[in-house]
Amino acid sequence: MLTSARQTLRTPFARLARRLHSTANPPRVLVTGSLGQLGTTMVNTLRAKFGSENIIASDIKKPSIEQRNTGPFVYADVLNYRALEQIVVDYGIDWVVHFSAILSAAGERNPSLGLNVNITGFQNVLDLAKAHNLRLLSPSTMGAFGPTTPKDSTPDLTIMRPNTIYGITKVHMELLGEYYQEKFQVDFRSLRYPGIISADSPPGGGTTDYAVDIFHAALKHNSYESFLDAGTRLPMAYIDDCIVGTMQLLEAPQEALTQRVYNVHACDFSPQELAGEIRRQHSDAFEIAYRPDFRQAIADTWPRTMADEAARRDWGWNPVFGTADIVRVMLDKLGPVYAATASPATTAEPLVEELPAAVVAS
| CATH code of 114's domain | 3.40.50.720
pTM surpassing 0.85? yes
Residues 91-105 pLDDT 10s: 999 999 999 999 898
To 10 degrees, the CA torsion angle through 12, 134, 70, 68?
-130
pLDDT for 6: 37
Average pLDDT over every residue of 321-326: 98
Average pLDDT over every residue of 277-294: 97
Q: What is each CA distance from 26 to 35, 52, 180, 218, 288, in whole angstroms?
A: 22, 11, 25, 43, 48
Give the residue numbers marked as catalytic: 166
Distance CA 272, CA 280 (A): 13
Looking at per-residue pLDDT, the higher value among 58 and 13 belongs to 58
Distance CA 278, CA 261 (A): 34
Average pLDDT over every residue of 39-60: 97
Domain of residue 52, residue span:
2-361
SS3 302: coil
pLDDT for 356: 32
Of 266, 259, 261, 260, nearest in space to 244 by CA: 266
pLDDT for 12: 54
Residue 361 has pLDDT above 90, yes or no: no
pLDDT for 358: 32
Residues 279, 331 contacting (CB under 8 angstroms):
no
Average pLDDT over every residue of 110-125: 98
- Name the pLDDT band for 346 (thresholds 50, 70, 90): very low
Residues 206-251 pLDDT 10s: 899 999 999 999 999 999 999 999 999 999 999 999 999 999 999 9
Number of domains in the chain: 1
* Average pLDDT over all residues of the chain: 90
SS3 127: helix
Residues 125-171 pLDDT 10s: 999 999 999 999 999 999 999 999 999 999 999 999 999 999 999 99
Distance CA 229, CA 236 (A): 16
